[in-house]
Amino acid sequence: MNRIFLIIVLAAVLFAGWKQVVFQPSGETPAPMEALSSAMVESAGGAVELAIGLVGVMTLFLGLMKVAEAGGMLTILARLIRPLMVRLFPDVPADHPAMGAMVLNLSANALGLGNAATPFGIRAMQELDRLNRQPGTATDAMALFLAVNTSSVTLLPTGVIALRAAAGSADPAIILPTTLLATIGSTTVAILAAKGYQRFAPISPTTEGEDDKPVDESQPEETASLEAAQDSYPLWVSILALAALASLILAAVLFGKSLSPWILPLLMAGFLVFGALRRVPVYEVFVDGAKEGFQVALRIIPYLVAILVAVGMLRASGALDLLVGALAPVTGRFGLPAEALPMALMRPLSGSGAYGILASIINDPAIGPDSYTGVLVSTLQGSTETTFYVMAVYFGAVQVRRIRHAMAAALTADAAGIIFAVLACSLFFA
């Protein structure tokens, strides 16, 4: 992100500087460098205003998610997907702690609980490494787990909905059906890619000086949540849940615009009723989660300022308009407007950078959050993941240096996420 930020700023300054040299004053048109300076100040102020507008909505959603988490929704979802996980990861013993950690990680990602997902993901990698005969080399299970993570299995993109609401969207939850379709498509491709690519990246035999360590299948002391994730519902229950999810996708495609105004009220009522039925003190727990939402909204201010200033400079310099004009005739034919290209390119590289670009696009009066482009970039943010960050954190936690086919599978999932997001938005707007 350091290099990307520097490149964007330098490109804007150099392009505006070149225009300043050949600038001919005419009327009240500001000089290029004056426009660049004004854009810097306005973008910084706009970033803070946007973050302040996010406080209320982020507080609401994290409060609701805290109620769902306290009621055991994470455990219920984990038990639903565990029978499928056992079949996806045949190399991992069904009762090994790695299986429980992976199940909880994917369940937390599905509910949009990013802060809870990362610790479970690191724990999963550490447990998978205990099954690894060659430390420092990614196993097939590690590569598949990372590919599924980067495909971003998301059922409830709360952060994106909050940002859209802060941008003045008339229907912030309109992205739920498109995100659901896109994330299922990218996850399916991630699984197929990881399974297919592993044939072309076999684990090499150990070299001299390296230890071929025995597999450690012992089970260390586990937390209560990991132990709960070791249980599962019968396979038919999981299949029934998948069928219900598929029916939701079909209903979203057919009746998405009619159903979307109902989504947020029903989510709030549903989560609170769920918590009450599970004997959760919903008001107290909601307030605890809301406090965290307030802190999260304030923490993102520096990131928003940095990226929005950089993008504002690029736009004010004219460099972004030049790039958009050159690419629009090509990408527009495939349903990907040139205005959305920076988002598609940034998402695998930087989560905060993509978040800032998303904010700048949906807050642009010429685009807005409810246009095709606004819904598309929102879907991209909700249905794809920061690939290189996830790889660095998860593989770094177990000191894996030879990642084999993991990056190829993850990037394939990213490309699939973009394609399915375009297809989903095209279907929805059609």
pLDDT band at residue 256, thresholds of 50, 70 and 90?
Answer: low
Q: How far apart are CA 91 and CA 138, in angstroms?
A: 13
Which amino acid makes up residue 348? P
Q: Which residue has the tokens 């996830």?
A: 390
Question: Max alpha carbon distance in the chain (Å)?
Answer: 78
Residue 314 has pLDDT above 90, yes or no: no
Which amino acid makes up residue 338? A
> What is residue 137's three-state secondary structure?
strand
Please tell me the least confidently modeled range out of 124-138, 198-212, 372-386, 388-402.
198-212
Asked if residue 252 lies in contact with residue 184, where contact means CB atoms within 8 angstroms, the answer is no
Query: Shortest CA distance to 4 belongs to which of 361, 338, 354, 359?
Result: 354
pLDDT, residue 209, reads: 42
Percentage of the chain with pLDDT > 70? 83
Q: Which residue has the tokens 């499928």?
A: 84
Q: Compute how many other C-beta atoms are within 10 angstroms of the C-beta atom of residue 361.
A: 26
For 224, counting Cβ atoms within 10 Å of its Cβ (0-12 exposed, 13-18 middle, 19+ buried), the class is: exposed
Q: Which residue has the tokens 């495909």?
A: 151
Residue 224 has pLDDT above 70, yes or no: no
Residue 328 or 135, more confident: 135
Q: Distances from the Cα of 27 to the Cαs of 24, 30, 31, 241, in angstroms?
A: 10, 9, 11, 65
pLDDT, residue 142, reads: 93
Asked if residue 232 lies in contact with residue 87, where contact means CB atoms within 8 angstroms, the answer is no
Q: How far apart are CA 135 and CA 128, in angstroms?
A: 11
DSSP-assigned beta bridge partners for residue 298: none
pLDDT, residue 391, reads: 80
Residue 73 has pLDDT above 50, yes or no: yes
pLDDT, residue 420, reads: 92
- Average pLDDT (114-142) is 83
Q: Compute how many other C-beta atoms are within 10 angstroms of the C-beta atom of residue 160.
A: 27
Residue 373 or 323, more confident: 373
pLDDT tens, position by position, 148-160: 888 877 777 877 8
Asked if residue 124 lies in contact with residue 101, where contact means CB atoms within 8 angstroms, the answer is yes
Asked if residue 164 lies in contact with residue 369, where contact means CB atoms within 8 angstroms, the answer is yes
Query: Shortest CA distance to 78 belongs to which of 56, 103, 52?
Result: 103
Mean pLDDT, the chain, integer: 79
Residue 23 is given by DSSP the state -
pLDDT band at residue 276, thresholds of 50, 70 and 90?
Answer: very high
Residue 13 has pLDDT above 70, yes or no: yes
Query: Shortest CA distance to 378 belongs to which of 158, 53, 222, 64?
Result: 158
Residue 399 or 140, more confident: 140
Query: Shortest CA distance to 107 belongs to which of 76, 83, 86?
Result: 76
* pTM, to two decimals: 0.70
**Domain residues of the chain, as ranges?**
32-200+222-429
Asked if residue 166 lies in contact with residue 53, where contact means CB atoms within 8 angstroms, the answer is yes
pLDDT tens, position by position, 98-110: 887 788 788 777 7
Residue 217 has pLDDT above 70, yes or no: no
Which amino acid makes up residue 285? V
Residue 414 or 66, more confident: 414
Residue 131 has pLDDT above 80, yes or no: yes
Per-residue tokens: 108? 């937390």
pLDDT, residue 213, reads: 55
pLDDT, residue 212, reads: 55
Per-residue tokens: 68? 């769902």
pLDDT tens, position by position, 177-197: 888 888 888 999 999 999 999
DSSP string, 278-345: TT--HHHHHHHHHHHHHHHHHHTHHHHHHHHHHHHHHHHHTHHHHHHHHHHHHHGGGT--GGGHHHHH
